[in-house]
């Protein structure tokens, strides 16, 4: 059994305070920043990464849980983005089979033209994937469609199309990337915010970082500074530009995607349902995930940048209304177990406004006159390719010496099960299987047989505190265990017990009251009034 690395905060902060110069300092602990940290550490660079909140706190824990090439992008003619994502999909699925797996989708047809029309498009999807394909597209009759989607509305059903993509546990995969980067020597510290960019002769040479928990500041010296803060990249760009007295034009136009979680009985089985075009032209998914069913998503411009975006009543109503058209048992507000939303960091050309559907879904990497490298946009699926592009741009800008090619293709992340093992499907309720090859290490901790909630033991909380950087009840119940996203009321019930375990593991306030308020907002109006 491999011994997991400790994530003792005092030790991490002591390392951060050491006087040294890193090859690369990364701001932002979402999928993009963590991917850069892993790639750079794999190449032999000295790496430090700071995150103002928790790893994957923002967009990276709020995906629709799909590792996909982007069927909708194919319809838009963005062949390059689709091809890249389809090939990167293979690397994600291979890197952590306990957290990322193939998933079969069925697109039910209620009009005669839909099966041949969408089926032909998905055959092209298969062709673009080539050897990276996960399974062939099939045209289905009505009976076959209902067999695979027993929850679909049978009235008027003409047939369907089956195709393959992938799904994952986004937050746990982000943690696996973070911990793998740490295993390769990178220093990663959450709850540590960048409050300024240091300059020397007009060049960005470091950061001022503040420990959120104590308020203490440290200076980090680095040859290369990477801004990977997602929808918040413009804030660090302004810090950087302030030294030159030239404000920068914002480059991000956020788009909100909301999700509703209901019981999996609304669409039982292990196939996801895809609606390619809803009443307003969006795509709707019904995805079985960790014993529940995710319905979503939306795509609406968001002018502000809240850390905790809330799904609006309009978005929730839209999702329920559209789902009711395709499910034989229509979900209602009373059936909602959790609602949540994420912000997509879409990159818009200067002066562009209006619909987010016309704004680029591809990532952008740019170098400021100071040498600050900013990356934003893109998709979870392509995080590895984005990291390689970032490091190439760092070298091109002359702020990072080359250290050979990326070595992350085919890399197994921390926790990946032994080759040949058969992982439990991600449609099944959560449990010890989500720890992959580290399940034995979790079970060795106190409280392995003391269950705080379905699929969550006391030992899992201790493991989160000791080895997964968890600091608060929210960290444990939102991103190490995914209970907040699955059933907010169940998370509320478990929270006091989780807080007690965390208090046993670490000093300080575990943030129970703050989490309870957050969980009520996920659970909806009924819980908020309780």
Region 388-400: mean pLDDT is 96
Range from 187-201, 296-310, 441-455 carrying the lowest mean pLDDT: 296-310
Residue 188 tokens, joined = 């990663």
The answer for 5, left when phi > 0, alpha when psi is -120 to 50, beta otherwise, is beta
The verdict on 181 and 222 lying in the same domain is yes
The verdict on 522 and 460 lying in the same domain is yes
Query: Does residue 424 lie within any of the structural domains?
Result: no
Q: Give the mean pLDDT of the chain.
A: 93
- 1 — pLDDT class (breaks 50, 70, 90): low
- 375 — pLDDT class (breaks 50, 70, 90): very high
Q: Is the pLDDT of residue 186 over 90?
A: yes
Calculate ∠ Cα 9-15-17, nearest 5°. 105
User: Domain span at residue 44?
Assistant: 9-59+172-251+352-396
- 420 — pLDDT class (breaks 50, 70, 90): confident
Provide the pLDDT for residue 471. Answer: 98
Query: Does residue 65 lie within any of the structural domains?
Result: no
Query: Does residue 4 lie within any of the structural domains?
Result: no
Provide the pLDDT for residue 356. Answer: 35
The verdict on 177 and 193 lying in the same domain is yes
Q: Based on the structure, what is the number of domains in the chain?
A: 3
Range from 240-249, 334-343, 485-494 carrying the lowest mean pLDDT: 240-249
The verdict on 445 and 520 lying in the same domain is yes
The verdict on 148 and 274 lying in the same domain is yes
What is the C-alpha to C-alpha distance for residues 257 and 295, in angstroms, rounded to an integer? 11
Question: Which CATH number covers residue 373?
Answer: 3.50.50.60
Provide the pLDDT for residue 33. Answer: 98
Secondary structure element (H or E) that encloses residue 340, with its range: strand 338-347
Q: Is the pLDDT of residue 350 over 70?
A: no
Provide the pLDDT for residue 351. Answer: 37
Q: Is the pLDDT of residue 391 over 60?
A: yes
What is the C-alpha to C-alpha distance for residues 217 and 194, in angstroms, rounded to an integer? 9
The verdict on 269 and 300 lying in the same domain is yes
What is the C-alpha to C-alpha distance for residues 261 and 65, in angstroms, rounded to an integer? 12
- 357 — pLDDT class (breaks 50, 70, 90): very low
What is the C-alpha to C-alpha distance for residues 286 and 402, in angstroms, rounded to an integer? 44
The verdict on 41 and 184 lying in the same domain is yes
Region 70-97: mean pLDDT is 87
Strands 21-27 and 47-50: parallel
Calculate ∠ Cα 256-368-218, nearest 5°. 85
pLDDT digits (tens, 9 = 90+) for 217-242: 999 999 999 999 999 999 999 999 99
The more confident residue out of 291 and 346 is 291
pLDDT digits (tens, 9 = 90+) for 475-509: 999 999 999 999 999 999 999 999 999 999 998 99
**Percent of the chain surpassing pLDDT 70:** 96
**Percent of the chain surpassing pLDDT 90:** 86
The verdict on 245 and 258 lying in the same domain is no
Q: Which of 62, 68, 65, 138 is nearest to 107 (CA)?
A: 138
Provide the pLDDT for residue 70. Answer: 78
The verdict on 467 and 510 lying in the same domain is yes
Q: Is the pLDDT of residue 365 over 70?
A: yes
pLDDT digits (tens, 9 = 90+) for 7-48: 999 999 999 999 999 999 999 999 999 999 999 999 999 999
The verdict on 499 and 516 lying in the same domain is yes
What is the C-alpha to C-alpha distance for residues 81 and 347, in angstroms, rounded to an integer? 15
Query: Does residue 413 lie within any of the structural domains?
Result: no
């Amino acid at each position: 059994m491999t011994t997991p690395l400790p994530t003792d905060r005092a030790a991490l902060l002591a390392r951060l305070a050491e006087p040294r110069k890193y090859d690369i300092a990364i701001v932002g602990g979402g999928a993009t920043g963590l991917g850069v940290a892993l790639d750079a550490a794999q190449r032999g660079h000295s790496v430090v990464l700071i995150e103002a909140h928790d790893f994957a706190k923002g967009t990276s824990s709020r995906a629709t849980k799909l590792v996909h090439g982007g069927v909708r992008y194919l319809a838009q003619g963005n062949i390059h983005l689709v091809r890249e994502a389809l090939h990167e999909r293979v690397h994600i699925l291979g890197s952590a089979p306990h957290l990322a797996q193939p998933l079969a989708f069925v697109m039910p047809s209620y009009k005669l033209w839909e099966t041949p029309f969408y089926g032909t498009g998905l055959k092209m999807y298969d062709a673009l994937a080539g050897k990276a394909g996960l399974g062939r597209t099939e045209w289905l009759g009505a009976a076959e469609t209902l067999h695979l989607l027993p929850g679909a509305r049978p009235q008027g059903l003409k047939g369907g199309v089956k195709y393959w993509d992938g799904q994952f546990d986004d937050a746990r995969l982000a943690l696996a990337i973070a911990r793998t980067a740490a295993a390769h020597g990178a220093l990663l510290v959450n709850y540590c915010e960048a409050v300024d960019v240091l300059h020397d002769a007009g060049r960005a040479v470091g950061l001022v970082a503040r420990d959120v928990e104590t308020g203490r500041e440290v200076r980090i010296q680095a040859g290369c500074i990477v801004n990977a803060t997602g929808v918040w990249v413009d804030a660090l760009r302004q810090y950087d530009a302030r030294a030159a007295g030239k404000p920068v034009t914002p480059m991000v136009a956020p788009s909100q995607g909301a999700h509703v979680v209901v019981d999996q009985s609304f669409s039982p089985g292990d196939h996801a349902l895809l609606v390619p075009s809803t009443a307003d032209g969006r795509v709707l998914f019904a995805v079985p995930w960790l014993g529940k069913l995710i319905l979503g998503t939306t795509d609406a411009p968001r002018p502000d940048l809240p850390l905790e975006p809330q799904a609006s009543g309009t978005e929730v109503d839209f999702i329920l209304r559209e789902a009711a058209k395709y499910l034989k048992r229509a979900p209602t507000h009373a059936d909602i177990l959790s609602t949540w939303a994420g912000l997509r960091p879409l990159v818009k050309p200067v002066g562009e406004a209006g619909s987010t559907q016309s704004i680029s879904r591809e990532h952008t990497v740019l170098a400021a006159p100071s040498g600050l490298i900013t990356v934003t946009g893109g998709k979870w699926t392509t995080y590895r390719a984005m990291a390689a592009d970032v490091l190439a741009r760092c070298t091109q800008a002359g702020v990072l010496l080359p250290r050979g090619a990326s070595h992350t293709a085919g890399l197994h992340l921390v926790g990946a099960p032994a080759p040949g093992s058969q992982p439990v499907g991600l449609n099944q309720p959560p449990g010890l299987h989500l720890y992959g090859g580290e399940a034995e290490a979790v079970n060795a901790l106190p409280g392995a047989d003391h269950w705080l909630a379905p699929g969550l033991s006391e030992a899992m909380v201790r493991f989160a505190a000791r080895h997964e950087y968890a600091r608060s009840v929210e960290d444990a119940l939102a991103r190490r265990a995914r209970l907040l996203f699955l059933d907010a009321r169940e998370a509320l019930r478990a929270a006091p017990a989780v807080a007690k375990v965390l208090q046993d593991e670490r000093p300080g306030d575990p943030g129970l009251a703050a989490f309870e308020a957050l969980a009520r907002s996920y659970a909806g109006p009924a819980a908020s009034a309780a």
